[in-house]
Amino acid sequence: MDVQIRRDRRRNWIFCIVVGLLCIALGLLPTGYPERMPANSTRERVRVLSVNDDFLAPLGIVYSGVQALRVRILSGEWAGHELDASNALNADLEKDKLFAVGDEGLAIIHADEDGPTQATLVDHYRLGSEGLLFGLFGLLLILFGGVAGAGALVSLVASVMIVWKLLIPALLDGRSPVPVALGVVLLLTALIMFLVAGFTRKALCALTGSLLGTFVTCLLAAAFGALLRLDGTNLPYVVPLLSQSAMQLDVSQIFLAMVFIANSGSLMDLAMDVSASCQEVIAHHPGISRRALIRSGFAVGRSVIGTMTTTLMLAYSGSYLSMLMYFMGQGTPVVDILNYKFVACEVLTTLVGSFGLVTVAPFTALMAGVMMRRGEAEAAPRPESA
């Protein structure tokens, strides 16, 4: 048994390394949509040395105008150079940013043959803190989970790479959003399950149950999206997206794809919970029958569904807490709120995802009964304990 465990662990580490190398290779591939940069310019990290707010005009709680800054370049070819910089504000609280002395920012450095001439601030520099947070998270995953934690970390990186390098370019190219998104979810689910659980029946059961739940979610999103007359036109950045694509993108299909992609993670979570629980039941009761194993999976699913459904609701309501505060403060009738298009979109996403959760638990339990008790329609009954 110990030899088999070591062999499985070695195989899982090899798979993690292979997927990690594939992620690096995928990261080096072009998307077909290169980053746009002004001529003779680079993006660098800068530190603010002085600030002049004389050119800002207050408009209530926002500002319009330009901050005049003096900055020192901290990275790249021109590190150590000091130059003037500007930060434009457009009375948009969501996107505007104010800089103070000592702040670090990301800036576009404009240069000529004599060196840097002017800088334009993009935003505060956050990559260092984000990298620290990700590093601590990865360290905790590996310390606690070992090979499973390493697999989870690699699966996270793989998910980011696949979405950024495959899904988004395919959608921008005008490919059919729903089939493309289903293919990406299938690929991600398989990678995540096998990275986390190895090449085991547990992973296969969780994969099958999760995908069945995803298909149910997709069908429900399509059916009720049409009934609720949701066409995706309320999506963030939809107007500039349609403009840059010359109105060639089908935003209604993109919206449907977003619904089941957003819920696929919770479906994977529940599927793995049920599958792992069934495996533990078999480990402690090897003689359990197929029917009893399925009942155990159902029991675990019933216990988890309630909290998972509430998790979805809290996740979406937490994202829109300020909006709900605004509606209540304005005295907006609840019947009006529930009929607003963007609210109906969130209702659809939450309820369709919850419906998928309810179905993925029995799907996974049934798959566990079939795969983990393969060839054992009814095992011998367990002896009664004395």
Tokens of 357: 């959760």
- Helix, strand, coil: what percent of the chain each, to 5? 60, 15, 25
CA angle at residue 237 from 236 to 239, to 5 degrees? 120
Query: What residues are paired with 58 via a beta bridge?
Result: 63
Q: Give one word for 246, left, alpha or beta, with left for phi > 0 and alpha for psi -120 to 50.
A: left
How do 104-112 and 115-124 pair as beta strands? antiparallel
Distance CA 136, CA 128 (A): 12
At residue 70, φ and ψ (nearest 5 deg) are -120, 125
What is the rounded end-to-end Cα distance, in angstroms, of the chain?
A: 29
**Residues 91, 93, 96, 102, CA torsion sign:** positive
Instruction: State residue 118's pLDDT score.
Output: 92
**Predicted local distance difference test score (pLDDT) of residue 185:** 93
Amino acid at 279: Q
By CB atoms closer than 10 A (0-12, 13-18, 19+), residue 322 is exposed
Q: What would the two tokens of residue 232 be?
A: 């995706």
C-alpha atoms less than 13 angstroms from C-alpha of 149 in its C-beta half-sphere? 11
Q: Which amino acid is at 40?
A: N
Distances (CA, A) of 105 to 247, 272, 362: 35, 42, 51
Largest CA distance in the chain: 91
- pTM equals 0.81
The length of the chain, given as a count of residues: 386
Q: Report the DSSP beta bridge partners of residue 118.
A: 110
What is the number of helices (H) and of strands (E) in the chain? 12, 6
Which structure tokens are listed for 359?
């179905």
How many other CB atoms are found less than 10 A from the CB of residue 321? 9
The per-residue pLDDT for 336 is 92
What domains can be seen in the chain, in order of their start residue? 44-125 (2.40.50), 174-372 (1.20.1640)
What are the E-state strand segments in the chain? 41-52, 56-59, 62-73, 82-90, 104-112, 115-124
Residue 235 CB partners (closer than 8 Å, separation 6+): 241, 251, 254, 255, 258
- Rounded alpha-carbon distances, angstroms, from residue 9 to 130, 151, 199, 207, 224: 31, 11, 10, 20, 44
**Residue for token digits 């590996």?**
142
Region for residue 187 given its phi and psi (left: phi exceeds 0; alpha: psi -120 to 50; beta: otherwise): alpha
pLDDT of residue 182: 93
Q: How far apart are CA 329 and CA 31, in angstroms?
A: 45
Return d(Cα 237, Cα 93) in angstroms, integer.
Answer: 17
Helical (H) or strand (E) element with 132 = helix 127-145
Identify whether the C-beta of residue 141 lies closer than 8 Å to the C-beta of residue 152. Answer: yes
Q: Is the dihedral of CA 196, 201, 202, 203 positive or negative?
A: positive
Print pLDDT tens along the chain (386 aa). 566 667 777 887 888 889 889 999 998 888 888 887 777 889 999 999 999 999 999 888 889 999 999 999 999 889 999 999 999 999 888 889 999 999 999 999 998 888 899 999 999 999 999 999 999 999 998 898 887 888 888 989 999 999 999 999 999 888 999 999 999 999 999 999 998 888 888 999 999 999 999 999 999 999 999 899 888 887 878 888 888 776 678 888 999 999 889 888 889 989 999 999 999 999 888 888 899 999 999 998 888 887 777 777 777 777 778 888 888 998 999 999 999 998 898 889 888 988 888 899 999 999 999 988 765 444 444 443 33
Alpha-carbon torsion, ordered 148, 152, 155, 156, to 10 deg: -170
| CA 71 to chain centroid | 35
For 137-154, the three-class secondary structure string (H helix, E strand, C coil) is HHHHHHHHHCHHHHHHHH
